[in-house]
């Protein structure tokens, strides 16, 4: 007795160790893992960071543009030669009268003076734009708009990842449900095989009935193997999607349950449209085209700036010199106005294209919302039909089972009833999973 109790305790401990070794995943946990680890989600976050850097870079255009430079040289000969002619130079003898008519002279020979054989020039400038046709202001607005667009695209990426996570999660759950169904079916066939073999030994049925059951059992075992392989591949793909290592002991906790009617999720499509990320992106695209037009127009307006400069110079053996200055600049792109008028017309056309795309794609989004609503209702109707079909198949199986036990129906009838019951159970499982996915899709396309 003690030995038996020991084995029972050992088996219990082993079962508990297996239970604790399993990793359980809920749908919400899977979503969080997908958002943290999925490569698309990571890249989307990096895109936001990159657009943020662009915005900060554009902001620096408000500040002065500081530049510095210098130049040194040591030439083989001077850069400039000054030729001085020789001749007699009057000499002042101290008598003012002789200044007009000198009587004494000194001879000065001709010569050539070479200058700037070597030298150093250095400067530092700071130029502050005063008016740039609004290009700096609109450029900053466009950069901020780019950051907003990156954040909206990140939200779209998150929605895509979450939807795919749900699709894959419920696919695995439905495959596990089908596995339980086919296991029950296999158990029924095994019991039926024992009954038929006993009846065959007793001479009640023919060997053909035994073969029919064995053939159906082989078919079920093959389908069971395919189902298990499909479940494994689906789990591996799911683990890759959410960024974790595949574990054969992974358990998916959530179950396929439908408790709410489609009407509880309904919203007006026109109100839902404005909550869509895609709708916001369409608005941003129109705004971006308008800003680019303003920037282009600014290129053909006068530009003004003020600046300060400090310079250092030293030539040959002379003393070094430093000096500073304040200056202002104004430029008017007169020759560019002709070509600029056509470029502005082009920008106007692109604005109109953006407006047309906004209107057309908004209408498509409304159609998508309407279709998603219809799909949700159709999925619920399919669920109700599948549920009713399963109930009828269960009743049909009970009738055929009782009839077979009473010798009224054949093995073939019972096998057909069993197959129909399994088929309707699988269809109900698929209908549940499909409804849940359609519900999630509808919530997403309505901005929820």
Secondary structure in 3-state letters for 259-278: CCCHHHHCCCHHHHHCCCHH
pLDDT at residue 336 greater than cutoff 70 = yes
Is residue 312 within 8 Å of residue 120, measured between CB atoms?
yes
Rounded-to-integer distance, Cα 265 and Cα 3, Å: 60
pLDDT at 343: 87
The CB density around residue 250, as the number of other CB atoms within 10 Å, is 17
Categorize the per-residue pLDDT at 181 as very low, low, confident or very high, splitting at 50, 70 and 90.
very high
Residue 133 has pLDDT above 60, yes or no: yes
List, in sequence order, the alpha helices (H) in 38-134.
39-59
Average pLDDT over residues 359-366: 96
The larger pLDDT score, comparing residue 371 to residue 107, is at 371
Q: How many CA atoms lie within 13 A of 181 on its CB side?
A: 23
As a whole number, mean pLDDT of residues 406-428 equals 91
d(CA 217, CA 182): 11
> What is the model's pLDDT at position 206?
86
pLDDT exceeding 90 applies to what percent of the chain?
58
Residues 6+ apart with CB under 8 A from 404: 410, 411, 413, 414
pLDDT value, residue 103: 67
pLDDT band at 16 (very low <50, low <70, confident <90, very high): very low
Q: Of 156 and 13, which is predicted with more confidence?
A: 156
Higher pLDDT, 411 or 21: 411
Closest CA to 213 of 187, 189, 184: 189
Is residue 368's pLDDT more than 90? yes
User: CA-CA distance, 238 to 362, in Å (whole number)?
Assistant: 33
86: pLDDT confidence band, cut at 50, 70 and 90?
A: low
Distance CA 321, CA 114 (A): 20
The pTM for the full model equals 0.77
Structure token digits, residue 408? 């009224």
- Average confidence score pLDDT of the chain: 87
pLDDT, tens digit, for every residue of 255-293? Answer: 888 888 999 999 999 999 999 999 999 999 999 999 999
Strands 24-25 and 251-252: parallel
Number of residues written out for the chain: 448
pLDDT at 134: 87
- Look at residue 140 and tell me whether its pLDDT is greater than 90: yes
Q: Provide the pLDDT for residue 13.
A: 46
Report which secondary-structure segment, H or E, holds 416.
Answer: helix 411-445
The secondary structure of 426-439 as a DSSP string is HHHHHHHHHHHHHH
């Amino acid at each position: 007795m003690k030995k038996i109790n020991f084995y029972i305790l050992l088996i219990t401990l082993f079962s508990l160790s297996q239970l604790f070794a399993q990793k359980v995943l809920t749908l919400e946990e899977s979503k969080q893992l997908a958002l943290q680890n999925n490569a698309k989600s990571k890249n989307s976050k990096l895109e936001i960071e990159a657009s943020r850097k662009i915005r900060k870079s554009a902001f620096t255009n408000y500040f002065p543009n500081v530049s510095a430079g210098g130049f040194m040289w040591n030439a083989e000969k001077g850069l400039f030669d000054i030729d001085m002619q020789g001749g007699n130079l009057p000499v002042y003898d101290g008598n003012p009268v002789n200044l007009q008519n000198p009587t004494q002279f000194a001879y000065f020979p001709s010569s050539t003076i070479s200058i700037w054989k070597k030298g150093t020039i250095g400067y530092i400038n700071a130029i502050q734009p005063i008016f740039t046709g609004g290009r700096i202001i609109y450029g900053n607005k466009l950069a901020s708009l780019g950051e907003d667009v990156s954040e909206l695209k990140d939200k779209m990426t998150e929605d895509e990842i979450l939807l795919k996570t749900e699709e894959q999660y419920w696919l695995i759950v439905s495959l596990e449900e089908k596995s339980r169904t086919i296991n029950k079916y296999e158990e029924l066939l095994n019991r039926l095989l024992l009954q038929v073999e006993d009846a065959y030994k007793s001479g009640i049925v023919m060997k053909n009935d035994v073969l029919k059951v064995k053939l159906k059992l082989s078919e079920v075992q093959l389908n069971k193997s395919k189902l298990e392989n499909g479940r494994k591949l689906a789990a591996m793909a799911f683990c890759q999607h959410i960024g974790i290592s595949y574990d054969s002991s992974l358990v998916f906790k959530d179950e396929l349950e439908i408790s709410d009617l489609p009407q509880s999720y309904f919203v007006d499509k026109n109100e839902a449209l404005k909550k869509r990320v895609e709708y916001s992106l369409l608005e941003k695209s129109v705004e971006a085209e308008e800003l680019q037009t303003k920037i282009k127009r600014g290129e053909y307006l006068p530009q003004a700036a003020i600046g300060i400069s400090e310079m250092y110079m030293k030539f040959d053996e002379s003393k070094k010199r430093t000096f500073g200055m304040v200056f202002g600049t104004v430029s008017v792109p007169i020759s560019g106005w002709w070509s600029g008028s056509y470029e502005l017309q082009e920008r106007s056309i692109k604005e109109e294209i953006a407006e047309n795309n906004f209107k057309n794609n908004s209408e498509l989004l409304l159609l998508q919302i309407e279709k998603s609503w219809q799909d949700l209702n159709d999925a619920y109707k399919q669920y109700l039909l599948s549920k009713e079909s399963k109930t009828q198949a269960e009743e049909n199986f009970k009738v055929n089972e009782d009839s077979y036990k009473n010798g009224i129906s054949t093995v073939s009838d019972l096998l057909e009833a069993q197959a129909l019951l399994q088929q309707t159970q699988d269809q109900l499982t698929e209908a549940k999973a499909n409804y849940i996915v359609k519900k999630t899709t509808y919530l997403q396309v309505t901005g929820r």
